[in-house]
């Protein structure tokens, strides 16, 4: 490599096109991260010039790494590929645009031309393709249109017209416009334009201030210009460099790695066509949005690549070493052959991953994703991807998904830990990679998991927890209980049931309210006090066991007041326990919930009969429901379980064996 320290003026003095290759990341500098610091540095240098400070030290902005290419003819402008430093060069170009436009609005045409000279190459009339060659900077496909619109606008007013959708016209539009969705280049323009206008103000010294800013940027700021030689490897250099304060993401390195190889091989589709025709969907906002996984926050595309590599390789992938993991994968027998096949493979899995994340499809994958989403188990994505991308039929895929959903939901109901899910689902992905996807394989693998931390709960265990556990607390957050009750609701609807959709804003309701002591007497007709409820809360398992023993050993027909009290406290404790079981839980709209509150059975039943349409609440609303007590809760719990064990079925045999038996 050949390096020289150059001023910004020198960098933009000669006719050159600084072309940002297609594999480079988008423009990502931000106000807090880089612009404010850069503006403070510029302001300091301009203030020194205005104050007549003679001994000024240059400010170093960092390095730009360039790979020069000769012009094809005298009518073409020489090209420098920007291997590193595009964020700096792009920011400088936006800065010159704002200086130009602020000068114009202050009727300083000469100063405006001097600023603009740094964004355009001279002698456009002699160029072969002036619409391209006239621009000193040629950004990536993602940023190019925005940049060209800004560069050619020449005023803040024209910017507002061209980007009307990003500028609210009134207070109503202000609420609708998501300012975070403004293109980063537009944000940069607005920031520097406002900063410059704020500094120069109005008055006789506007021209002097603008001139000081322009000259400070051109002459007081230096960069290290590194020109690659013929034996230098741009890929290796790209991987080792970062932009100021904004480290390269693993996906930036992966994109670079793919398209540098595409440019070198030039087999089949050209690199630019490959990017335009196939890769572009991966640059959409959906993939660049940040996701939180535990303590980690990354763009969604990086979590996708983690699951993609896991599904394709069957091995544990390190997010911290994602790029290295990708290169290692390409050396395996499972990897696609050729860059174009590589891109197509990533896009195929990306489409499946998007369906899983959005969970709004109506096919087998969409239904499975929707059922799994409330449980927030992202480690299951890899085997789901492996199944979805396989050649097995849709019915077999659906059976495999069904078994995975059953495994997850049953374990949640019985209070099983999710701590081993990373190992379990990684193992399932590995089995699929090694032996191919099939419903038999998935079922056999899940059935083979032993121990309380991994086992697939049987019907007996499932039923015990279903009827007795505090599922209201166990299935947190509430979306999980809502999902369980919604699936039962769907199952209860027969072919003759009107297709009334389950409202999206449903909430969980205790049929017998948690504040039951006011309007819901015990089975013997007596009401309880807060003191009794508090006493029961303090009992604990040992205290309840002692009360049961006292009642058990009490002589028949000769109960003491102490025994009577023990029976009463046990009745309160039983009600408190059953209150939180699924037999006492249903769904309703939030609006109805506010009205239901702690009303009596008769009042709540009347409200449900008037407003409730869900099948899952029919046992409470029916004409034969004359009371709602502990026995009614248990009966409804058993009824719901008969549906639950079919919805989240536990297999007796593997699918192939079951089919043969039938």
Asked if residue 192 lies in contact with residue 92, where contact means CB atoms within 8 angstroms, the answer is no
- Mean pLDDT on 337-363: 96
Same domain, 482 and 446: no
Beginning with the edge strand found earlier in the chain, give each strand of the sheet holding 221-227 in spatial order: 2-7, 221-227, 59-69, 79-84, 17-19, 137-138
Same domain, 58 and 145: yes
Q: Indicate the pLDDT class of residue 176, thresholds 50, 70 and 90.
A: low
Q: Which of 468, 495, 527 is the last residue of a domain?
A: 468
Same domain, 232 and 373: no
Asked if residue 361 lies in contact with residue 368, where contact means CB atoms within 8 angstroms, the answer is no
Q: Report the alpha-carbon distance of residue 400 to residue 655 in Å, rounded.
A: 9
Same domain, 274 and 406: yes
The DSSP-derived string for 149-193 is HHHHH-SHHHHHHHTGGGS-SSHHHHHH--GGGS-HHHHHHHHHH
What DSSP character marks residue 279? I
Of residues 222 and 602, the one with the higher pLDDT is 222
Q: Report the alpha-carbon distance of residue 202 to residue 197 in Å, rounded.
A: 9
Q: Which of 325, 244, 286, 248 is nearest to 25 (CA)?
A: 248
pLDDT of residue 529 exceeding 80: yes
How many helices (H) does the chain have, and how many strands (E)?
Answer: 33, 10
Same domain, 269 and 243: no
Residue 549 within a domain: yes
In degrees, rounded to 5, the angle at the alpha carbon of residue 168 between the alpha carbons of residues 165 and 172 is 115
Count: domains in the chain: 3
The CA radius of gyration of the chain, in Å to the nearest whole number, is: 34
Q: Report the alpha-carbon distance of residue 436 to residue 61 in Å, rounded.
A: 53
Q: What is the residue whose two structure tokens read 């039938």?
A: 662
Q: Report the alpha-carbon distance of residue 40 to residue 209 in Å, rounded.
A: 15
Same domain, 213 and 265: no
Same domain, 322 and 387: yes
Q: Report the alpha-carbon distance of residue 103 to residue 116 in Å, rounded.
A: 10
Q: What is the pLDDT of residue 661?
A: 43
Tell me the average pLDDT of the chain: 90
Same domain, 271 and 169: no
Q: Indicate the pLDDT class of residue 500, thresholds 50, 70 and 90.
A: low
Residue 654 within a domain: no
Residue 390 within a domain: yes
Residue 232 within a domain: yes
Asked if residue 621 lies in contact with residue 606, where contact means CB atoms within 8 angstroms, the answer is no
pLDDT of residue 246 exceeding 70: no
Same domain, 492 and 564: yes
Sign of CA dihedral 47, 53, 54, 59: negative
Question: Between the CA of residue 587 and those of 359, 509, 517, 584, 624, what are the distances in Å?
Answer: 22, 6, 22, 11, 21
Residue 653 within a domain: no
Query: How many other C-beta atoms can be found within 10 angstroms of the C-beta atom of residue 288?
Result: 17
Per the DSSP assignment, residues forming a β-bridge with 313 are: none
Q: What is the pLDDT of residue 243?
A: 46
Q: What is the pLDDT of residue 499?
A: 64
Residue 655 within a domain: no
- Mean pLDDT on 91-99: 98
Q: What is the pLDDT of residue 315?
A: 96
pLDDT of residue 230 exceeding 80: no
Same domain, 279 and 192: no
Q: Which of 248, 277, 307 is the last residue of a domain?
A: 248
Residue 433 within a domain: yes
Q: Report the alpha-carbon distance of residue 487 to residue 475 in Å, rounded.
A: 15
Same domain, 180 and 316: no
The DSSP-derived string for 435-466 is H---HHHHHHHHHT--STTT----HHHHHHHH
> How many alpha carbons lie under 13 Å from residue 195 in its C-beta half-sphere?
21
Q: Report the alpha-carbon distance of residue 282 to residue 252 in Å, rounded.
A: 12
Asked if residue 406 lies in contact with residue 442, where contact means CB atoms within 8 angstroms, the answer is no
pLDDT above 70 as % of the chain:
91
Q: What is the pLDDT of residue 173?
A: 55
Q: Report the alpha-carbon distance of residue 441 to residue 126 in Å, rounded.
A: 68
Q: What is the pLDDT of residue 442?
A: 98
Q: Report the alpha-carbon distance of residue 645 to residue 526 in Å, rounded.
A: 37
Q: Which of 248, 268, 302 is the last residue of a domain?
A: 248
Same domain, 12 and 38: yes
Q: Please write the tens of the pLDDT for every residue from 256-276.
A: 899 888 887 755 558 888 988
Residue 658 within a domain: no
Q: Please write the tens of the pLDDT for every residue from 441-477.
A: 999 999 999 888 899 999 999 999 999 999 999 999 9
Whole domain around residue 57: which residue ranges? 2-248
């Amino acid at each position: 490599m050949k390096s020289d320290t150059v001023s910004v003026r020198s960098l933009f003095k000669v006719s050159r096109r600084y072309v940002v290759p297609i594999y480079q990341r988008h423009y990502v500098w931000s106000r807090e991260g880089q612009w404010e610091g850069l503006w403070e540095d510029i302001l300091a240098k301009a203030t020194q010039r205005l104050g007549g400070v003679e001994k000024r030290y240059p400010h170093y902005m960092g390095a730009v790494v360039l790979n020069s290419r000769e012009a094809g003819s005298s009518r073409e402008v020489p090209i420098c590929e920007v291997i590193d430093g595009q964020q700096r060069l792009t920011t400088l170009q936006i800065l010159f645009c704002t200086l130009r436009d602020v000068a114009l609005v202050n009727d300083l045409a000469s100063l405006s031309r001097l600023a603009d000279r740094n964004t355009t190459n001279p002698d456009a009339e002699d160029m072969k393709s002036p619409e391209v060659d006239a621009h000193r900077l040629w950004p990536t496909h993602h940023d190019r249109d925005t940049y060209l619109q800004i560069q050619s606008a020449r005023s803040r007013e024209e910017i507002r017209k061209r980007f009307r959708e990003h500028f609210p016209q009134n207070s109503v539009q202000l609420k609708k416009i998501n300012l975070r969705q403004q293109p980063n280049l537009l944000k940069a323009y607005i920031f520097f334009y406002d900063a410059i206008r704020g500094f120069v103000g109005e008055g006789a010294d506007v021209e002097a201030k603008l001139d000081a800013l322009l000259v400070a940027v051109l002459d007081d700021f230096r960069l290290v210009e590194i020109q690659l030689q013929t034996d230098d490897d741009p890929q290796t250099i790209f991987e080792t460099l970062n932009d100021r304060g904004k480290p390269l993401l693993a996906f930036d390195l992966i994109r670079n790695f793919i398209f540098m190889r595409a440019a070198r091989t030039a087999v089949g589709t050209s690199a630019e066509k490959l990017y335009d025709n196939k890769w572009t969907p991966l640059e959409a906002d959906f993939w660049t949005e940040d996701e939180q996984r535990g303590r980690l926050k990354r763009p969604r595309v990086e979590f996708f690549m983690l699951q993609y590599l896991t599904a394709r390789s069957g091995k544990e992938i390190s997010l911290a070493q994602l790029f290295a993991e990708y290169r290692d994968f390409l050396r395996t027998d499972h990897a696609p052959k050729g860059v174009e096949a590589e891109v197509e493979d990533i896009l195929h899995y990306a489409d499946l991953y998007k369906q899983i994340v959005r969970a709004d499809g109506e096919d087998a994958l969409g239904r499975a994703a929707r059922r799994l989403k409330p449980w927030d188990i992202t480690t299951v994505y890899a085997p789901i991807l492996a199944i979805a991308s396989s050649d097995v039929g849709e019915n077999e895929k659906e059976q495999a998904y069904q078994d995975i959903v059953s495994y997850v939901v049953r374990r949640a109901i019985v209070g099983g830990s999710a701590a081993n899910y990373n190992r379990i689902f990684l193992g399932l992905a590995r089995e699929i990679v090694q032996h191919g996807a099939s419903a038999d394989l998935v079922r056999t693998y899940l059935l083979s998991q032993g121990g309380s931390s991994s086992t697939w709960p049987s019907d007996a265990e499932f039923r015990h927890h279903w009827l007795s556990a505090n599922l209201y607390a166990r299935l947190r957050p509430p979306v999980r209980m809502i999902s369980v009750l919604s699936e039962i609701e769907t199952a209860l609807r027969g072919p003759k049931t009107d297709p009334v959709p389950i409202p999206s804003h449903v909430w969980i309701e205790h049929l017998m309210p948690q504040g039951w002591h006011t309007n819901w007497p015990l089975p013997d007709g007596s009401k309880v006090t807060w003191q009794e409820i508090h006493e029961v809360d303090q009992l604990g398992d040992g205290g309840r066991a002692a009360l049961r023993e006292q009642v058990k050993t009490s002589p028949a027909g000769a109960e003491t007041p102490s025994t009577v009290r023990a029976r009463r406290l046990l009745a309160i404790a039983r009600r408190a326990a059953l209150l939180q079981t699924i037999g006492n839980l249903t769904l309703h709209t939030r609006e109805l919930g506010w009205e239901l509150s702690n009303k009596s059975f008769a009042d709540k039943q009347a409200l449900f009969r008037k407003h409730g349409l869900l099948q899952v609440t029919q046992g409470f609303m029916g004409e034969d429901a004359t009371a709602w007590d502990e026995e009614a809760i248990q009966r409804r719990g058993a009824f719901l379980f008969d549906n639950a064990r079919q919805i989240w079925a536990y297999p007796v045999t593997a699918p192939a064996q079951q089919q043969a038996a039938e």
